[in-house]
Amino acid sequence: MRQKSVKRRDFLKLAGGALLGAVATGAPRRDRFRVPTPFGPDDSPYDPNSQGEPTDLDEYDFILPRVRVVELPFKGRGKGPDVWNVRPGGDANLLRELSRVVRCRTKPIHAAIDWQPQYAFEGQFNAVVTFDDPDRLRHYPFLFMTGENHFEFSSDQKGNLKDYLTAGGFVLMDDCVVGSGGDFFYTSCFRLLEELFGRGSLRMIPREHEVFHNVFDLGDTGLPYLQYTGRRGTHGQNHGARGLFFGDRLGVFLSSTDLHCGWCDSHGVEWGPDGYRKTVQMGINIIAYALSH
């Protein structure tokens, strides 16, 4: 029997209700927390066996796809393109912590912890997407982008990103600035979103917003800003938390403070225990918000 199609908006609400229900009750994961395999348009049911389609959507409660972008080289510096896949251990740590707090089944990232490896090998992330493939994008309610360099999207990629966000998807964009580097990735994200949604569309997210309070109360902290332990200096550029809103719904969380580096530091070597704890809590709050709206 053909099941009824599930619109992306309904899929997001269902997934979010499951996650937040687990947080509120502290109950162990049960079948009622399972997220059903999503379907495509009403006239085209989702076929998990078709070429290029994910086949593991019904095995996990949450998957964290990395967005692959072709980055532009730093001007006058040696780093080249494709550092979109840096430090998979940060993603792995966040997923592990999320599964402990929410008691949900997250798809693991194997052979990665903290700062190793520096770059993910082929197939190491639990999912990789691009904005060239809108059919694949529709299966994932939450996407993660990070990088150090400027990047550019084609006109088709821009259109697919706009469609994904308008339909109810969520993207966490987190600039990875190292040492005295510039906020190149952040700037590219900012310009891209304002080109698609209009000047002034990216707004500061106030500390009163529920994304800072829904699972962990970060109202006093706001967006964590990493500071080196035992030596001078900070990490990243602090432009505050900026968001793209669709009515009352937050569809993009844009950070320049490098949350991802904080996720990599589970032993507190660089940022201390508090740096790791706060950035992981922020990541969990963002995921919980995205899946409940």
In this prediction, residue 18 carries a pLDDT of 45
Transcribe 77-137 into DSSP letters. SS--S-GGGB-HHHHHHHHHHHHHHH---BPP-TT-BTTBSSBPPTT-SS-EE-TT-HHHH
Query: Domain residue spans in the chain?
Result: 63-291
In this prediction, residue 177 carries a pLDDT of 73
Whole-number Å distance between alpha carbons of 51 and 258? 35
CATH architecture type of domain 63-291: 3-Layer(aba) Sandwich (3.40)
Residues 6+ apart with CB under 8 A from 25: none
Sign of CA dihedral 155, 156, 159, 165: negative
In this prediction, residue 83 carries a pLDDT of 80
Whole-number Å distance between alpha carbons of 183 and 190? 11
pLDDT by residue for the chain (293 residues), tens only, comes to 333 333 333 433 444 444 444 444 333 322 322 233 333 333 333 333 333 578 888 899 999 999 999 887 665 454 555 589 999 999 999 999 999 998 899 999 999 999 999 999 989 999 999 999 999 999 999 999 998 888 899 999 999 999 999 999 999 999 987 655 678 889 999 999 999 999 999 999 999 999 999 999 998 889 998 876 656 555 667 788 999 999 999 999 999 888 999 999 999 988 889 999 999 999 999 999 999 99
The reported pTM is: 0.82
